[in-house]
Structure 1
Amino acid sequence: MQKLFLSTAFILAFSYYGKAEELLDTDVVDQEIVQEDLPPVLPNDSYGTVDSRLNQLEAQVQKLTDKIEVLEHRLKVKNETMMAPIAPSLGKKPSETLSEALTPTTSDATTLRTDDAQTLYAKAQEFLALGEYDTAENALKELIKSYPKDPLVINAKYWLGETYYVQGDYRRASVSFGEAYKSYKMIEKSTDPKDKEAKKLSFAKAPEALIKLVFSLKGLGKTDAACATLDQLQEEFPNQAQNVKKMVEKAKKDLTCSKK
């Protein structure tokens, strides 16, 4: 029986490591999951009981899971960056162009370029892909503050939540994901041309914001609120994209929600 428990734990640990290697085959990040992260071979007399061995394996699996989540986040940013609105000077380093995005091009110091929101958004995506979360946060906050009516604001609020979430700041992440969802609902039935453009750009982000809100609430230990949000997501968005479906299934497994 002890061998069965340990074999199951090892299979789980190595399955997570295999997923990490698959992600690392892409050119998303330079980060590596090194050999020391794998569960060591345990001598018969290294640990006391089966429980202590399983607890150590569980901790190691969780460590790998956390690293995989960061890699998945960067892969997602990489993919979405490729589809982001084209901004000027993308060939330069992000650090060189973020300040330029806020620099007036006329003698009037109060006049900013009309594409500044686009530039800030694209630069924030680049910083996210590089793992420079503080700089990405600043760019997204500047966009939201300076261009509150821009169609990219809902997406910016979502990605602001991601910068917090990937760093384990679940409180601020839950606020940003909640604001992204609320902003989308406010324009959902609007016929204003700008709102229609915003809906087109952010339609996919509404259910994504809700499911990430679920995980943020879980991270805060607010299981009841997380379960209620999960129910809300499934009621409002029954036809979910594949990535959302996968996160919903994961949330169902992670949460112990009471059935209606």
Structure 2
Amino acid sequence: MRIHFSIIMILSAVLSGCAVPQPLPKQALTRADLQSLEQGQEDLSRQMQKIQDNVLLVEARMQDQQQIIEEMKTALAALKVTPAGEKTEPETAEGGGVSPGTALSPTEIYLQAFADYTSGRFQQGIAGFESFISRYPESEYAGNARYWLGECYYSLQQYEQAAQEFARLVEEYPQSNKTPEALLKMSSALLRMEQPDRAGQALKILLQRYPDSSAAKKARQTEPFSTILQNGGM
């Protein structure tokens, strides 16, 4: 019995001396850690945006290729054979013609501009996106082109021009899936220009018009946007 008691005492002493370490309190997570996590989430969100754009562009390119095939079929069907068995040139629509083989489709123009942006060739990207928007303002990708045009200027630290492009996107393409993100990025550009009041106005529009968007969620949860919103009473 005494031996059993002694063993218990020894085990108690050993266990008390080798206590399992307690988990770190939540307070141990520093502001720097939180900012790092938030930055990681923002980077991931930006990457997801690019992936989504690439998927849309691949689908658009496939549609363009299908359209080219259909046009070729139409051109072949339009070939006429004379009584002598000679083939004539295909008829073309008034004012139109067969596009030269080197002509780029709308999707190819967009893809080239987007490739320039992602490769850091921002000036070329600006030229490409501006060309696309001026030639195809009614395209379903015109809003996206305006957004990436703003991103090109932002990357060049031309924040005033970037803010203007984001604002034009909001005005001209309010239904674009890029519009909420444009408002958030416009706010960021205005903050870079030390204009917190205008930045706050952009954030308020974002929350009022697109309250359920991922951009609105980032605005509520990410500094310095969340602080601006709190100071603005929203």
Q: TM-score range by the shorter chain?
A: 0.5 to 0.7
Pair 1:184-2:169 in alignment: no
136, 139, 153: which one pairs with 2:128? 139
Report Cα offsets for 1:220-250 as digits up to 9, x if no partner. Answer: 111111112211211111222x354124432
Structure 1: gaps (5+ residues): 1-7, 24-68, 89-103, 186-198
CA drift of 1:12 comes to: 4.3
Task: For 2:165 and 2:154, locate their aligned partners in 1 and report how far apart those are by CA, in whole Å.
Answer: 10
1:235 — aligned with what?
A: 208
Q: TM-score, normalised by structure 1?
A: 0.54
1:216 — aligned with what?
A: 189
Structure 2: gaps (5+ residues): 1-26, 63-96
Q: Report the identity percentage.
A: 23
Conservation of the 8 A alpha-carbon contact between 2:184 and 2:215: no
1:49 — aligned with what?
A: none
Conservation of the 8 A alpha-carbon contact between 1:170 and 1:217: yes
**Distance 1:79-1:245 versus aligned 2 partners, 3 A rule:** same
Q: CA RMSD in A?
A: 3.4
CA drift of 1:259 comes to: 2.0
- Pairing of 1:81-160 with structure 2 (within 5 A): 81-86=53-58, 87=61, 106=99, 116-160=105-149
Give the SS at the match of 2:156: coil
Task: For 2:100 and 2:232, locate their aligned partners in 1 and report how far apart those are by CA, in whole Å.
Answer: 62
Conservation of the 8 A alpha-carbon contact between 1:74 and 1:129: no
Task: For 1:158 and 1:212, locate their aligned partners in 2 and report how far apart those are by CA, in whole Å.
Answer: 9
Report Cα offsets for 1:55-75 as digits up to 9, x if no partner. Answer: xxxxxxxxxxxxxx7x66862
Task: For 1:146 and 1:11, locate their aligned partners in 2 and report how far apart those are by CA, in whole Å.
Answer: 50
147, 154, 159: which one pairs with 1:165? 154
**Distance 1:162-1:12 versus aligned 2 partners, 3 A rule:** same
Report Cα offsets for 1:162-202 as digits up to 9, x if no partner. Answer: 111233221011000001110123xxxxxxxxxxxxx5xx2
CA drift of 1:141 comes to: 1.0
Q: Which has the larger radius of gyration?
A: 2
Give the SS at the match of 2:173: helix
